[in-house]
Amino acid sequence: MDKYGLIGHPLGHSMSPLIHKRLFALSGITDYSYELIDIAPEELASKEEMLREMKGFNITIPHKTAIIPMTDKLGESALRYNSVNCIANCDGVMTGYNTDCDGFIRSAELLPLGGKVLLVGCGGVGRMMAIEAALHGAELTIAVIPQDVKTAQLAMAEILSKCSGASVKICLVSEIDGGFDLLINATPVGMFPKVDACPVSDEVIGRCLSFFDVIYNPKETLLMKKARALGRTAVGGAAMLVYQAVKAHELWYGGEFDAEDISAIITEVEDAVS
């Protein structure tokens, strides 16, 4: 039996078992296990032998960087972000990847990622989204609250080092000016249980043409509701969550999936959190 799983700490409710169960079923794979494995930071190094017995596993907070010394190789995405959220074990060689970026790009493929992009927040996954937008040629504005200006400046410096000639500027959320082709919310504002919160004002929303919200619980955030009420396209975080898992299965055993099947899993995830 091939062993798979998700490691992190603390591990509360996770949609990973449901998503991966569906993907294994679509691939016709039945002889496997997928477990949630709670590993405290101080215990990670001692778990290497156990992890090397697994065919593949996902990694979440706080191990995305700490796991890197345990890998034998890093894929291009992991090198770009110095962050690993998926490991594939092929004949004893553990290769680390960052599939968050794959999940983001695939779920946002119909959005104008190369246009005028307003990114709200830039910590964690927001940093990745900022770099991906720059790589796609975006005219990028990073909007943050005052205490996150330093984080935004570091992200901007990293973007300019990776994307020569990139167009990036920083502003406060309270001072967002102008119109945008795409607004990306990379903050937890609006996440369950504080579902009545919105990361930007109605006035800003009215000046944006399409939206991507990293939050998947609830399936339709207040930001998305306001955007759709204006007739705008708005994509939620469930798609990104599912597509990063799809990429993991492609890496683990060469999985191939139909778009209709993946769409059904996205809907199931959205329904599970609604």
Domain containing 91 equals 2-98+239-273
Ramachandran area for residue 190 (φ above 0: left; ψ -120 to 50: alpha; else beta): left
In angstroms, rounded to a whole number, what is the distance separating the alpha carbons of residues 259 and 8? 29
Q: Do residues 32 and 133 share a domain? A: no
In angstroms, rounded to a whole number, what is the distance separating the alpha carbons of residues 127 and 132? 9
Judged by average pLDDT, the poorest of 4-8, 124-128, 265-269 is 124-128
Q: Do residues 26 and 89 share a domain? A: yes
Q: In this predicted structure, what is the pLDDT of residue 124?
A: 84
Render pLDDT for 178-193 as a digit per residue (tens, 0 to 9). Answer: 999 999 999 999 999 9
CATH number of the CATH domain containing 243: 3.40.50.10860
Q: Do residues 16 and 45 share a domain? A: yes
Q: Do residues 9 and 83 share a domain? A: yes
Q: Do residues 66 and 107 share a domain? A: no
pLDDT above 90 (res 112): yes
* 68: DSSP letter: G
> Side by side, which strands form the sheet with 182-185?
167-172, 139-144, 116-120, 182-185, 210-213, 233-235
Q: In this predicted structure, what is the pLDDT of residue 56?
A: 98
Which residue out of 55, 64, 194, 226 is catalytically annotated? Answer: 64
CATH number of the CATH domain containing 112: 3.40.50.720
Confidence band of 164 (pLDDT split at 50, 70, 90): confident
Q: Do residues 60 and 165 share a domain? A: no
pLDDT above 80 (res 267): yes
Q: Do residues 220 and 167 share a domain? A: yes
* Segment 24-49 mean pLDDT: 97
- Would residue 73 show up in a list of annotated catalytic residues for this protein? no
Residues 6+ away with beta carbon under 8 Å from 26: 255, 257, 261
Q: Do residues 73 and 172 share a domain? A: no
Q: Do residues 111 and 201 share a domain? A: yes
Q: Do residues 228 and 141 share a domain? A: yes
Q: Do residues 166 and 265 share a domain? A: no
Render pLDDT for 60-95 as a digit per residue (tens, 0 to 9). Answer: 999 999 999 999 999 999 999 999 999 999 999 999
* Segment 97-122 mean pLDDT: 97
Structural domain tally of the chain?
A: 2
Q: Do residues 228 and 152 share a domain? A: yes
pTM of the model: 0.93
Q: In this predicted structure, what is the pLDDT of residue 3?
A: 98
